[in-house]
Amino acid sequence: MSLADSRKIRLLFLQNAPLILFLVLVLVFGSLSERFLSPTNFMNIVTQAAHIAIIAIGMTFVLLVAGIDLSVGANMYASCIVVALYMKGWNPVFGFAVAGFLGLLFGAVNAFVITRLRVPAFIATLATLFVGRAIALYLSGVKMIPFGKEILLLGRTTWLGLPVPIWIFLLVFVIAWVTLRLTTYGRQVYAVGADPEAAAKAGIDVRRILFSVYCIAGVCAAIGGLVSASQVAAASSTFGFQKEFPVIAAAVLGGTSLFGGRGGVVGTVFGAILIQTVENGLVMINADPYVYPLVVSAIIFIAVLVDSLRTGMLERLERRKIRVETA
């Protein structure tokens, strides 16, 4: 086997590493626990991953323009606490509408501070994280607030054999995928992420794009929050606390770059499911619960490491290719 071949194989391996990792995990957990490989359990995994996936889809838009939104967890808490407090007994559709609108508002505030006041996204959303949690804590009086029955029912209802949270997740996913792939807006998001200056010169309204992605992230955070609410029954004062970490991890695990312009929602969904698979598998094999975060973070780490190795290798390959010039 020539040098080039072995390099190609290595690259092929690195390129599909998250998938390989996933398969390895499934095999390991499957061999340790019989219950793990059942279809019901897989459905459980997806259902549990749904809210992270939804929020991470919103986060993907932000990461694509090289931004970041640390406030999604706070947004999720703030938007959902309103539904929990004031919308008991309402049709859950209204709940989603109201939460979505509040999430949008929250996102718009982020967007305003970032695009108009030119505060770096990291700091801006850090600040709104505090403010958002504060508003929610104030509204809830730092008490555990149970969600209305209709929200809880939502979590247990199935439609065409699939739980409603999965349907909501699929809906968000399809809309996001179509938007990014098949609309002018979506393609411009990628363009802005790759090079905002060039995008401005190409006549793209860069500020509008930047503004909009934070709004999208806001809406997704709120919707994801309610999906999560349908599973946890009540909003405690830690509802959504540090949710930004698994969310960003899911997107990055799925191949979305933190530097903008690269990635997509398919990968993000995969990342969210991968994380949930690990957690679920650990439960199935009765691992010490204190070990969960260790394993999950180690797996995210491996995925990012592999991604970096791959990028580095591709770069080296590119550099080696001297363009032979014939005049």
Partner 1 sequence: MTPAQTTRLDRPAPAPGLPLWRRLLLSEYLVLFLTVVYVAGMALIVPEILTADTWRDILAAMIPLLIVAIGQMFVLVVAGIDLSATSVLAFSSVLGAAVITMDGGPLVGLPAFLVVAIGILAFMAVGGAVGAFNGACTTRFNMPPFIVTLTTMMFFSGAAIWVTTLLTDDGSSIGSLPREFVFIGQGRVFELPFSLLIALAVGLLAHVALSHSLFGRWLFAIGINPNAAAVSGVPVRRTMFWAYVISGACAGLAAVIYTARLETGTPVLGQRILLDVVGAAVIGGVSLFGGKAKVLWVVFGALFLTVVDKGLQLLGLSLAGVFAIKGGVILLAAIVDAQRQRLKGRG
Partner 2 sequence: MFQKQVQAPVQAPLLAVRGLCKSFFGVQVLHDVGFELAPGRVLGLIGENGSGKSTTMNILGGIHQPDRGEMVLDGQPYRPKGPKDAEATGIAFIHQELNLFKNLSIEENLFIGGFPKLVRGLPFIDRRKVRARAKELLAAIDLDLDPATLVSRLSQGERQLVEIAKALGADARIVIFDEPTTSLTARETERLFGQIQRLKGRGIAIVYISHILSDVMRLTDDIVVLRDGHVVASAPTRQMTVDKLITSMVGRTIDQIYPPRASRPREGQPVLEVEKLTQPGMIKDVSFQVRQGEVVGISGLMGSGRSEMARILFGLDPYASGRILVDGQPLERPTPEAAMARGIAFLTEDRRAEGLMMDGPIADNLALPSLPNFAGGFGRLIERTRLGDAVERTGRDVQVNARDFVQTLVKNLSGGNQQKVVIGKWLLRSPRLFILDEPTRGIDVGAKYEVYKIINELAGQGTGVLVISSEIEELIGICDRILVMSHGEIRAGFDRAKFDRERIMRSAMWDSVTKGGR
Residue 82 makes contact with partner 1 by CB under 8 A: no
Residue 238 makes contact with partner 1 by CB under 8 A: no
Within 13 Å, how many C-alpha atoms sit on residue 8's CB side? 5
> Which residue has 């970032």 as its token pair?
114
Residue 78 makes contact with partner 1 by CB under 8 A: no
**How far apart (Å, rounded) are the C-alpha atoms in residues 225 and 51?**
7
Residue 290 makes contact with partner 1 by CB under 8 A: yes
Could you tell me the smallest distance in angstroms from the CB atom of residue 262 to partner 1? 12
Strand-pair partners of 242: none
Could you tell me the smallest distance in angstroms from the CB atom of residue 306 to partner 1? 10
Could you tell me the smallest distance in angstroms from the CB atom of residue 122 to partner 1? 6
**How far apart (Å, rounded) are the C-alpha atoms in residues 308 and 252?**
11
Q: Which does 312 bind (CB under 5 to 8 A by kind): partner 2, partner 1, none?
A: partner 1
Q: Which does 4 bind (CB under 5 to 8 A by kind): partner 1, partner 2, none?
A: none
Q: Which of 236, 232, 193 is nearest to 212 (CA)?
A: 193
Token pair belonging to 50: 């749904």
Q: How many CB atoms lie within 10 A of CB 3?
A: 7
Question: Whose Cβ is closer to partner 2: residue 188's or residue 277's?
Answer: 188
Q: Which stretch binds partner 1 (CB under 8 A): 118-126, 162-170, 220-228, 267-275?
A: 118-126
Residues that bind partner 2 (CB under 8 A): 178, 182-185, 187-188, 190-191, 193-195, 197-204, 261-262, 320-327
Could you tell me the smallest distance in angstroms from the CB atom of residue 210 to partner 1? 14
Let me know how long the chain is.
327
Q: How many CB atoms lie within 10 A of CB 201?
A: 10
Sign of CA dihedral 165, 169, 172, 178: negative
Question: Whose Cβ is closer to partner 1: residue 86's or residue 122's?
Answer: 122
Q: Which stretch binds partner 1 (CB under 8 A): 85-93, 111-119, 185-193, 198-206?
A: 111-119
Contact, 182 vs 63, CB < 8 A? no
The vertex-267 CA angle with 266 and 271, nearest 5°, equals: 120
Residue 313 makes contact with partner 1 by CB under 8 A: no
Could you tell me the smallest distance in angstroms from the CB atom of residue 271 to partner 1? 12
Contact, 247 vs 59, CB < 8 A? yes
Question: Whose Cβ is closer to partner 1: residue 168's or residue 300's?
Answer: 300
Strand, helix or coil for residue 119: coil
Residues that bind partner 1 (CB under 8 A): 113, 117-120, 122-124, 126-138, 142, 245, 248-249, 252, 258-259, 288, 290-294, 296-298, 300-301, 304-305, 308-309, 311-312
